[in-house]
Amino acid sequence: SIDVPSVGGPNWYQYVLCGVKGILDNSTIQHDPARGMLIMLSGNIPPASGLSSSSAIVSATVLATAYMHNATLNKQTLATISAECEKFIGTQGGGMDQAIAYLAQEGCAQLIEWNPLRATPIQLPANAVFVIANSLSEANKAATSDFNQRVVECRLASRLLAKQMKLNWRELNRFADLQKALGYSLEQMDALVQANLSLNVYTRTDLLKLLDVTEEDFTENLLTPNTRNSQTFKLKQRALHVFQEALRVQQFIETAKSTPEDCISRMKALMKQSHESLRTLYECSHENLDQIVTISDRLGVGTRLTGAGWGGCTVALCDGVEESKRFVETLKAEFYANIPKAQASDIGSLCFTTSPQRGAEIYLIEKQQNNILPTP
């Protein structure tokens, strides 16, 4: 058995242990007996930047460990294992980062769906250019309770709505499952939240009464270890964000498929709306992120935070290379020039253009020819 500490700020190697444990401690996976591995880790994803650096390590380690132990697994299974084993570190993520790490395709966004895990490629406009900008405010979701607090608030909102609708509320802690059980559209779920979650802030006492549970039951079964001292919960705001964001995803896909003349302009507007919702309803933004978004709004660029929030990076959608260049130069002059920390950094590593590429792959080095060959 591999022990992964679940409390405290984890070091990078503990994410490697998560990946190894995900394969070797999984009794449902057929693999060779455990063997030692020499692992060299290198990467250019800034840590605590909201760009899934931790999930990248876990996913890469799961893939490498599976390969080294002759475990034959498809990408969907690898993504599911990676999402589950990252929870050993203490974060309650949903699996989106790990899914895209394996299922990404060049030039496409991916619609990630669950139960079962599947990805649908969404072809992006040819002139769509993305800009990543680091806010230089680190977002270490494993070191604080903020990330898990939002997860808990969403689960509590789903359960409370389920109880109000006379469903088996203990089994319905995911909004997607609740929506399926009710047979509602996203618009109907939005209306349900507006009508039934009446309080802006729910106290612990409120929820004990509404769910008809004991303090012990609530603490042990409805909270996570690092949220057990939480006294207040914003259920309505979190639920509204989730359902409205899901609707924006649908609108983004419809826009991409119909390719109207103002396709990118519509996508930009959805990106802007998304960030505003993350800022006001989900409350996971940061003043540095908001400053970048304000600059982008002035330039007509669609920008939102990416990753868990509370710092990290923004992702911006630009219409063509020239617009992306103007945006990058403006950020250098108006944002990074005013941050001392940026002066000691390579600006090119803080703010850069990018595009969707392929997901995780294995490359084998032939010792004699020193060739590097990809493995399907």
Give residue-wise pLDDT tens across range 170-195.
999 999 999 999 999 999 999 999 99
pLDDT in tens, 306-319: 988 999 999 999 99
CATH of residue 180: 1.20.1440.340
Number of domains in the chain: 3
Same domain for 90 and 228? no
- 74 occurs within a structural domain: yes
Residue 122: its pLDDT value, please?
Answer: 97
Based on the fold, state whether residues 281 and 222 are members of the same structural domain.
no
**Which tokens is 226 given?**
């690092």
In this predicted structure, what is the pLDDT of residue 365?
A: 83
In a domain, 248, yes or no: no
For residue 7, count CB atoms less than 10 angstroms from its CB and return exposed for 0-12, middle for 13-18, buried for 19 or more: exposed
Domain housing 308: 128-142+267-354
Q: For residue 249, tell me if it sits in a domain.
A: no
At 30 the pLDDT is 95
User: Which portions of the chain are predicted below pLDDT 70?
Assistant: 1, 5-10, 140-144, 367-376
Number of CB atoms found within 10 A of residue 310's CB: 23
Buried/exposed 154-163: b ≥16 CB within 10 Å, e otherwise = bbbbbbbbbb
Contact 213, 222 (CB under 8 A): yes
In a domain, 168, yes or no: yes
Q: What's the pLDDT at 345?
A: 82
Are residues 72 and 32 both part of a single domain? yes
Tokens of 177: 């499952």
Q: Based on the domain organization, do 135 and 205 belong to the same domain?
A: no
Identify whether 2 is part of a domain.
no
Euclidean distance between CA atoms 214 and 217, whole angstroms: 5
On whether both 201 and 272 belong to a single domain, the answer is no
- Kindly state whether residues 323 and 288 are assigned to the same domain: yes
Confidence at residue 6, expressed as pLDDT on a 0 to 100 scale? 58
Structural domain contains residue 246: no
The pLDDT of residue 91: 74
Catalytic residues: 97
pTM assigned to the model: 0.86
DSSP string, 69-116: TT----HHHHHHHHHHHHGGGT----SHHHHHHHH--TTEEEEEETTT
Report pLDDT for 183.
Answer: 98
The reported pLDDT for the residue numbered 142 is 57
Q: Is residue 36 part of a domain?
A: yes
Is the bond into 116 cis (omega within 30 degrees of 0)?
yes
